[in-house]
Structure 1
Amino acid sequence: MAKLATVQLPANLKERLMQGHPWVYRNHVPPNLHLSSGSWVRVQCGNWKGFGLWDNQSPIAIRLFSRQEPPTPKWTREQVQSAWDLRSSLRQQNCTAYRWLFGEGDGLPGITVDLYDRFAVVQTYMESAAVLLNWLVDALQATASLEGIYLKTQHRSLEMNDRDDESANAPSDSKVKLIWGQPAPKALIVEEHGLKFQVDLHAGQKTGLFLDHRENRKYVEGLSKGRTVLNCFAYTGAFSLYALRGQASYVTSVDIGKGLAEAASTNIKLNGLDDRRHTFITQDCFTLLNDSIQQGKQFDLIILDPPSFAKTKQNRHAAQRAYSKINTLALRCLAPDGLLVSASCTSQVSPEAFKEAIAASGATTGHQIQIIHEIGQPIDHPVPAQFPEGRYLKFVVGRVRRSN
């Protein structure tokens, strides 16, 4: 490897770097520094040193990979193997779809890998990741028995660890191409906790399943018996399937996306569930909740899993207002002592800020919300202790009662 450029950083960053934070923002590097994207650099901050990857496009100028030496093929294989080992409990539970690599959380900043049965989907969040791609593909093959590896490319910059919005009505600005092995079936079947789901790896943004809610869906199943359930932003109906298996008396799924009703119906039939206890309404969720309020309709359990509402810090306050609004509408549709299941999938809103939004909704509607369950990300989306930006998923379940 050629001699690496050394990047000197301000002394006030040393504590954060020593703790292991993996990002260096562009406003912290010398303004006259010009390097090619994909250049490995030696980072110096006082007596601290590390090795990272330079990127020209992102506000994150350097992503740090190692304290010891620049990454090598062997080093990459070790990170991939470590991530594989961490998820062994999922494989023991016969879960065949999960996030194999979660970027900074698994020591490979700016890169994710999702596993769908014997097919891996690589996604990169920085231009400079191209220099790692061949090493990564070799490491994936060496670690697991795969049939194919796909690469998903984005035409917009995604800097944070928010969940990618996969709504069917969103403009498709991502492409998927096969980079190794054979193509996956158009209708690939994966399994989690005994339920089967059809996914499409060829559809760009829309694979058909959010992997980060796997354990939350299972939790909702245990709450559903005998309840009427409203699943807002239902996508392809994953929460609805668990509610049906959990013996909900009736489940209503709502999403504005085209083709999602058909996808949900396919998943229900695939699992032999009773479709007479389910309906899918293709409509904007805000509109449906407003209409339900006007019509006096109530539900025993309402699930809210909206899109992130905020991709940047500038959108944070607007996101807070949107979360308050959707939760306020849902509270007005809940039956007495009903359950509110509310999620947020953006790193721009902290767990405490999200609960504040829910509390504000309770104050607006005259409700007291008893939080009975709260959780972050599952085992396949690990968050480094020193990297709060990696914590994007919030999931809160509350019993809702009228205020005294």
Structure 2
Amino acid sequence: MKTIRLRDGKERSLQRRHPWVFEGSITQGHAELGDTVRLESADGRFLGWGAYSPASNIRVRAWSFDEAERIDEAFFERRLRQAIALRDRLAIHSDGVRLVHGEADGLPGLVVDRYGDTLSVQFLAAGAERWQPVIADALLQITGLSRLYERSDVNVRKLEGLAQRTGWLRGEGPTELSITEHGWQLGLDVAQGHKTGYYLDQRDNRQRFAQLVSQLGCRTVLNCYAYTGGFSVAALAGGAAEVTTVDSSAPALERARDNLRRNGFDDAAHHFADADVNAWLRQALADGRQFDAIVLDPPKFAPSAAHAERAARAYKDINRLGLKLLAPGGLLMTYSCSGGVSAELFHKVVASAGLDAGVNASILQRLEGACDHPTTLEFPEGEYLKGLALLRL
């Protein structure tokens, strides 16, 4: 077992059970990609067991802070069982569920989503990659499923010195699936869809949107960056009479159209726009249009805190336009999934957008990811999705 020794004073984050060790915190030691290493303070005290990543600025991700714990097959089976048991206790009313959420479940670099009878998995860090066969076998044993698709095709793997990879790890068959969410039928593709196939983190927010559309009597709804139309389905389920769905991906809009039909909604109640959202919003404003409810759920504008300033300008611009297009008494649900933009900064950006738009609004609710995407007290960086439900005054 190789040892990684930290600089004096750099042990405090590990003592607070934060799982990351940055390159600059290390004074001694080296290992191969994904190797399990012993983490020690400058004076030789045990701090934890972790996975070494020689190419990454996050040089070690901690598996355990228990010196007596061995990092072996039994360890991963135990952690996976704990994570999946938690989701069972949450009694999520959907067959689309996140079973493992990386650091929050004590498994850094591992994401596992279940879509019906299929698991979709991402191995995002060197340690998870090293233990991939063990993790894959344990997942199928615990869940009783036979199909596991890998979606390790994200840029973060490059930072780990890993190539991108996709395809069936276990089993085979069609990658186009459907799940049930709040009684709605939603289609997805684990091979081609965003993330592992779908945005499960917005599950509860889609339901909340349907409730507010109903309670506030919103008749006309605009769904921007709509992807495959989850919020559009929610709007119509909430009683909206007319929904406009805007996205720059024609294939995503086609799946959105299919999702509306799956749920029995009339095509006449829906309009699609294959367009750049920012340009579409500007044209809608020039045309004097207004909507009773608007969803702004853009892609990640800031992958890290270093991009926060540029991202803040982009978030401000779309929220200014959205607030101007919102009818008095209307509802705006606006989100940021950028880990580099804090909830506090996002609030300030949206408030500034309201000032520029000449619009006042009250906060009905602060929004976050669904409960199967937990954030732990020790790892606040896991809180990437934040949002606001606003009522225009």
Query: Which residue number in structure 2 is paired with residue 41 of structure 1?
Result: 37
Change (3 A) 1:289 1:369: same
Cα shift at 1:176: 2.0
Hey, what's the Cα distance between the residues in 2 that align with 1:89 and 1:345? 26
Say if 2:35 is the partner of 1:20: no
Say if 2:11 is the partner of 1:8: no
Equivalent residue of 1:332, what SS? helix
TM value normalised by structure 2:
0.93
Deviations 1:87-145 (A, max 9, x none): 1156x454111211000010000111111111111101123422211221122122112
Say if 2:185 is the partner of 1:196: yes
Aligned match for 1:292, one of 284, 291, 294: 284
Change (3 A) 1:50 1:153: same
Say if 2:320 is the partner of 1:328: yes
Cα shift at 1:15: 2.6
Cα shift at 1:375: 2.4
Amino acid at match of 1:346: S
Cα shift at 1:207: 5.7
Deviations 1:141-171 (A, max 9, x none): 22112120122223632599xxxxxxxxxxx
Hey, what's the Cα distance between the residues in 2 that align with 1:328 and 1:365? 5
> How do residues 241-256 of structure 1 correspond to structure 2 at under 5 angstroms?
241-256=233-248
| Structure with greater contact order relative to length (CA < 8 Å, sep ≥ 6) | 1
Does the aligned pair in 2 maintain the 1:175–1:204 contact within 8 Å?
no
Cα shift at 1:74: 1.2
Cα shift at 1:279: 1.1
Query: Which residue number in structure 1 is paired with residue 139 of structure 2?
Result: 140
State the superposition RMSD in angstroms.
1.9
Equivalent residue of 1:87, what SS? helix
Amino acid at match of 2:148: I
Hey, what's the Cα distance between the residues in 1 that align with 2:98 and 2:195? 16
> How do residues 230-249 of structure 1 correspond to structure 2 at under 5 angstroms?
230-249=222-241
Change (3 A) 1:387 1:159: farther
Hey, what's the Cα distance between the residues in 1 that align with 2:346 and 2:157? 22
Hey, what's the Cα distance between the residues in 2 that align with 1:321 and 1:380? 31
Deviates more, 1:341-350 or 1:377-386: 377-386
Does the aligned pair in 1 maintain the 2:2–2:29 contact within 8 Å?
no
Query: Which residue number in structure 1 is paired with residue 206 of structure 2?
Result: 217
Query: Which residue number in structure 2 is paired with residue 75 of structure 1?
Result: 75
Cα shift at 1:13: 2.6
The total of aligned residue pairs comes to 383
Equivalent residue of 2:373, what SS? coil
Cα shift at 1:372: 0.7
Cα shift at 1:48: 4.2
Query: Which residue number in structure 2 is paired with residue 29 of structure 1?
Result: 26
Amino acid at match of 1:13: K
Hey, what's the Cα distance between the residues in 2 that align with 1:248 and 1:11? 60
Tell me the percent identity. 35
Aligned match for 1:177, one of 144, 156, 167: 167
Cα shift at 1:70: 3.6
Equivalent residue of 2:10, what SS? helix
Change (3 A) 1:159 1:333: farther
Cα shift at 1:271: 1.2
Cα shift at 1:274: 2.4
Cα shift at 1:312: 2.4
Amino acid at match of 1:298: Q
Equivalent residue of 2:386, what SS? strand
Hey, what's the Cα distance between the residues in 1 that align with 2:128 and 2:142? 20
Query: Which residue number in structure 2 is paired with residue 167 of structure 1?
Result: none
Gaps of 5+ in 1: 161-172
Gaps of 5+ in 2: none
Query: Which residue number in structure 2 is paired with residue 118 of structure 1?
Result: 117
Does the aligned pair in 2 maintain the 1:58–1:126 contact within 8 Å?
no
Equivalent residue of 1:224, what SS? helix
Hey, what's the Cα distance between the residues in 2 that align with 1:155 and 1:369? 37
Query: Which residue number in structure 2 is paired with residue 95 of structure 1?
Result: 94
Does the aligned pair in 1 maintain the 2:111–2:121 contact within 8 Å?
yes
Hey, what's the Cα distance between the residues in 1 that align with 2:291 and 2:109? 41
Change (3 A) 1:35 1:175: closer
Amino acid at match of 1:44: E
Say if 2:387 is the partner of 1:395: yes
Amino acid at match of 1:142: Q
Change (3 A) 1:22 1:224: same
Hey, what's the Cα distance between the residues in 2 that align with 1:159 and 1:372? 40
**TM superposition outliers: structure 1 runs of 4+ over 6 Å:** none
Cα shift at 1:17: 1.1
Hey, what's the Cα distance between the residues in 1 that align with 2:165 and 2:212? 38
TM value normalised by structure 1:
0.90
Query: Which residue number in structure 1 is paired with residue 59 of structure 2?
Result: 61
